[in-house]
Structure 1
Amino acid sequence: MHTTIYKITPQAPWRLAEAEGRFTGAPVDLADGFIHFSTRDQAIETAQKHFAGQDDLLLVAVDAGALGDKLVFETSRGGALFPHLYAEMPMSVVKWVKPLPLGADGAHQFPDMEA
């Protein structure tokens, strides 16, 4: 199973989470009742599908193993299993946070990501 999962989020909710010491989710997460994540292989498509043209984004790498049984891999887009967290996320599980800027071609420029 995946040891690192990724959250794409606008900067504003993330900066609030850093101040509060926990991430409760971006607006889409709050509406759906869980925090959406992607695996490394899913992240680029997630950015293209749900964040096209947005330039205030961050990519957050998270230790999936530290989330316990509240992290569930569920069937979603195209029948793929996506990680969903049914709890708040403590900052202690964050491996790193990096900017996710738009390139000249309008696509997000992903940093090196671990598996």
Structure 2
Amino acid sequence: MNTILHITQNDRWTKAKNLETYRSETLDSEGFIHCSTVAQVIGSANRFFKQQQDLVILVIAIDRVTSEIRYEGADSTNLFPHIYGELNIDAVIQSIDLEADLDGSFILPKELISG
């Protein structure tokens, strides 16, 4: 199954499950929900979420997302998936705790390591 990933606060995800839809802050400010591939997610976590706690990675099944997904970036060599609209929660097939090391940086959770 093809998946993309999104990092968020655990309490935001809990609220979204009750509402049956998820909105990130960037949906209102930028028009889309930022996502990553498995290869990109830790770089994104360390760049934008360092020193934060109580984070989860949402594993999203691409074929279940009802909003448009576009792959975009500053250059054509590193395109990030963006969801242009609310995320229907039934597209989220797993949530994985994202915990920081003692220095506040992240490593890829074992659930996302293939092989």
The separation in 1 between residues aligned to 2:75 and 2:9, in whole angstroms, is: 21
The CA deviation string for residues 4-34 of structure 1, in whole angstroms up to 9 with x for no partner, is: 1000001222111011011022x23331111
**Cα contact 2:72–2:79 (8 A) shared by 1:** yes
Q: What is the aligned partner in structure 2 of residue 19 from structure 1?
A: 18
SS in 2 for 1:49: helix
RMSD over equivalenced CA pairs, Å: 2.2
Q: What is the aligned partner in structure 2 of residue 54 from structure 1?
A: 52
The worse-fitting range, judged by mean Cα deviation, of 85-94 and 105-114 is: 105-114
**Where does structure 1 differ by over 3 angstroms across 4 or more consecutive aligned residues?**
76-79
Identify the match of residue 40 of structure 1 among 38, 41, 45: 38
Distance 1:113 1:77, change over 3 A: farther
The CA deviation string for residues 26-51 of structure 1, in whole angstroms up to 9 with x for no partner, is: x2333111111000000010001110
The separation in 1 between residues aligned to 2:38 and 2:76, in whole angstroms, is: 16
Work out the percentage of aligned pairs sharing the same amino acid: 27
**Cα contact 1:48–1:107 (8 A) shared by 2:** yes
TM-score (norm 1): 0.85
Identify the match of residue 26 of structure 2 among 22, 25, 28: 28
Task: Name stretches of at least 5 consecutive residues in structure 2 with no aligned partner.
Answer: none
Task: Name stretches of at least 5 consecutive residues in structure 1 with no aligned partner.
Answer: none
